[in-house]
Chains A and B, each alone.
Chain A
């Protein structure tokens, strides 16, 4: 009986914990969104930090990211093409390539890439700032942490994921064409028709919304996880662990919901 009560209590505490975390994230997002609309937020200082964030999150890693995209795209396209040939479905190879790579895999891998590189760094930095009282010091100096530290990271994350996923998609489309048709222009007509048929308004909006949500997940979750850190140095690794687990589940959840909405 005691075991049952303890289990129910533990489950209840976990559920309440999830709701508290979810509420905290939504409240933080609402506050950030309201600040985005406030014209005083858009001063030179915030703009400079946003530019710096986009540089560190997207531009600095561009060559590595594009190289990795090229390898993954070439590999997946080759697998799809050879499988399509085996089953006599070559006509569907380009559509399959675009669906698998551009709409699903590359945005997902981009989000994972940014999460591992920048999300973990953001989580650690915010947790250390929280533990070391640096945020309190900023507040004392009337420098709003939301405008100076957090909002630029959120914007940087969203802009980076959207642009990197877009770039990766374009690169995959080019790679797909070259692998299927070679350097000849003969396939240009059917290939662009397939692209035009696939990328209707609904799909484009869905893709952009998905990338924006990925961008928010890889920045908002680490920031809020960092802010939850108790003021004890040994809690920083725990905070990063929790934050990154939440980011992983959020990215997977966004992808699953997107797939379900598209194909079910």
Chain B
């Protein structure tokens, strides 16, 4: 698992050890990326962030802050943040540690079906959880 943390810069990670900024809303956490990396204005960045939340089917969590979110909502925000990074690879690192309130393989599958994104999402999980991913 140490190898996951050492992944190169071109990888967007969704992981327990990469938390959200606690005093920012879900929308602000996501909008930070286009604001700082793309140098977009605040309104445009917020719009981009909201559209990703819409695509993931969780537009309603936009104004929630980290402590007010359920684990699944927190995961969706982290995922949206990783998507907006627009990196070639997206790695979900040990989803079971973040999604302990839902049957997570099905939840991730559902999110990936909703989000019409290019590229693939890679899931790094413990080998003993492999059975959970079989439909």
Residue positions of A touching B, CB distance < 8 A: 43-45, 48, 125, 128-129, 132-134, 136-138, 140-144, 147-148
B36 and A132 within 8 A (CB)? no
Q: Given A138-B21, A140-B18: A45 and B35 within 8 A (CB)?
A: yes
A125 and B23 within 8 A (CB)? yes
Chain A residue contacts of B13, Cβ below 8 A: 140
Residue on A nearest B11 in the bound complex, by CB: A140
Chain A residue contacts of B19, Cβ below 8 A: 132-134, 137
Could you tell me the distance in whole angstroms from the C-beta of B83 to the nearest C-beta in chain A? 12
Residue in B20, B22, B23, B32 whose CB lies within 8 Å of A143: B32
The interface size of chain B toward A, counting residues with CB under 8 Å, comes to 18
Residue in A133, A134, A143, A144 whose CB lies within 8 Å of B33: A143
Chain A residue contacts of B20, Cβ below 8 A: 134, 137
Residue in A129, A137, A142 whose CB lies within 8 Å of B18: A137
Task: Give the dominant DSSP class at B's interface.
Answer: loop
Is B17 an interface residue, CB under 8 A from the partner? Answer: yes
A133 and B22 within 8 A (CB)? no
Q: Given A137-B19, A137-B20, A138-B21: A48 and B36 within 8 A (CB)?
A: no
Is B41 an interface residue, CB under 8 A from the partner? Answer: yes
Is B64 an interface residue, CB under 8 A from the partner? Answer: no
Residue in B22, B36, B41, B42 whose CB lies within 8 Å of A148: B36
**Lowest 5 A-B CB distances belong to which pairs?**
A137-B18, A45-B35, A143-B36, A143-B32, A133-B17
Chain B residue contacts of A133, Cβ below 8 A: 17-19
Chain A residue contacts of B36, Cβ below 8 A: 43, 45, 142-144, 147-148
A141 and B85 within 8 A (CB)? yes
Q: How far is the CA of A125 from the CA of B24 in the complex (A)?
A: 13
B17 and A148 within 8 A (CB)? no
Is B81 an interface residue, CB under 8 A from the partner? Answer: yes
Q: How far is the CA of A141 from the CA of B20 in the complex (A)?
A: 11
Is B109 an interface residue, CB under 8 A from the partner? Answer: no
